[in-house]
Amino acid sequence: MPSKDPVKKALLISLIVSSVSLSIKIGAFVVTGSTAALSDAAESVVHFFAVMFVVYGYYLSLKPADDEHHYGHERVEFLSVGAEGAIIIVAGLTIIYHAVMSAITGIEITNMDTGIIMLIIAALINFFLGRYVIRVGREHNNMIAISNGKHTLTDVWTSGGVVTALLLIHFTGWLFVDIVVSMLMASYIMHEGYKLLRFSVRGLMDTRNPEVDKALVQVLENRLPETIKDWHHLRHRTSGNTTWVELHLVFDDDINLKKAHLDATIVERRLIDALKTDAIITIHLEPEEHHDEAHNLLDGANKAKGLDEFA
């Protein structure tokens, strides 16, 4: 029975195909002895274990909220992406280490034709795999899949770099190219790892998502019922496929509770519809005339911060 979850299916395919690509790259290193080929294989080893972690993270993110996790498990996305970024950086440092050691001990490369063919096959496999996983991730707004697909595409660039190096060595005899290409590959994949780490940290720190903010403000500035006079204290954060939103709405003083609740629910629906993710909206209702008076009751309630410091 095929999986009904396209993201889960894509990640499982990525795990299986990555093991095949890894085997080919290890074979390319064995037959050539190239440091660049070793670096490419080392990066793929790291990538394979990263995919395993990503698959676990995705399965965990699907678990619903429970008594111990009232907000669900989707924030594991940031941990998963961050771990993959850190692993990529470690792979880059490993490549640099092997390149330096080769420069010290000397370079000897054999069977270049066979190695080049094997690496081209591995690169093509990863190219189509990476494009597929990224497409699924974007269609379903899933950063775990997108980051995994991008990491897979870094394998294409590293393999391409090794193939280029081996071709240059084959036609020129310049063995030092093996080390130069290794260093360039390391710089590239470490940059990709840094971008994934930055996404992870921004998510864990609940950094404001400008696209989400723009969509919410568009509704609040243009599509409020007439009974609502103002809004403030808008806060939001996105974890996985869920956006959590909090805000205050100021109503006419003479509105009854039933009407205020109905209009607040209308705003809630419009906010949800404006977002690409699922959303949990929490709205605090306030009367227009006695707004400041009511808030005075909260003065000094928190232990170290005033109310305005939280918004």
Residue with tokens 């003083």: 253
Cβ neighbours, 10 Å, residue 171? 8
Residue 238 φ/ψ region, left for φ over 0, alpha for ψ in the -120 to 50 degree band, beta for the rest:
beta
| Planar angle of CA 35, 41, 43, nearest 5 degrees | 105
3-state secondary structure of 62: coil
pTM of the model: 0.72
Per-residue pLDDT of the chain (311 residues; tens, 9 = 90+): 345 789 889 999 999 998 998 899 889 888 887 777 777 787 787 778 778 877 887 788 778 888 888 888 888 878 877 887 888 788 788 778 877 877 777 666 777 788 889 989 999 999 999 999 999 998 887 877 888 898 788 788 878 878 888 888 878 877 778 788 778 878 877 887 898 899 889 988 888 889 999 999 999 999 999 999 999 999 999 887 789 999 999 998 889 999 999 999 999 999 999 998 889 999 999 888 766 777 777 777 888 877 777 66
Question: What is the model's pLDDT at position 2?
Answer: 46
The residue type of 156 is: V
Closest to 267 in 3D by CA, of 229, 239, 303, 225: 225
Question: What is the model's pLDDT at position 1?
Answer: 37
3-state secondary structure of 246: strand
- Residue 279's H or E segment, with its range, is strand 278-287
What one-character DSSP code corresponds to residue 234? Answer: E
| Structural domains of the chain ordered from first start | 6-204 (1.20.1510.10), 210-310 (3.30.70.1350)
Question: What is the model's pLDDT at position 291?
Answer: 67
